[in-house]
Amino acid sequence: MSATETQTPSQPALSDRIALVRAQLAPIRTRRALLESYRRESLCRLASPIPNAGSAIEVLDTAYALRWAELSPDDGTAEPDGCP
């Protein structure tokens, strides 16, 4: 890789993994349902150190965050945990 290249070989694989999870989240139509799905997913995780770049935790968190941003906030849900 030359000094001018900004992408590493692992970046496409990471974006593909995120896209796969996002596709699985596509049927979720409300933030409330997405939040419940994320809570269930979180129960499957054990406390772990800070995730490495490209880890399963990072992929899931990124995919859920992107889906959250896609959904309309006017579905009757408040932001979680008092966030504005």
14 vs 32: CA distance, rounded Å = 27
Whether 83 is in a domain gets the answer no
Q: Classify 73 as helix, strand or coil.
A: coil
15 vs 35: CA distance, rounded Å = 22
Residue 5, pLDDT > 60, answer no
CA distance readout (Å), 73 to 8, 41, 77 = 35, 21, 7
Whether 6 is in a domain gets the answer no
Whether 82 is in a domain gets the answer no
Residue 74, pLDDT > 80, answer no
50 vs 42: CA distance, rounded Å = 15
Structure tokens, 20: 């796969």
pTM (predicted TM-score): 0.60
Q: What is the mean pLDDT of residues 40-51?
A: 68
Q: Compare 1 and 66 and report the one with higher pLDDT.
A: 66
How many separate domains does the chain show?
1
Whether 81 is in a domain gets the answer no
Structure tokens, 48: 């772990």
Domain that holds residue 54: 11-72
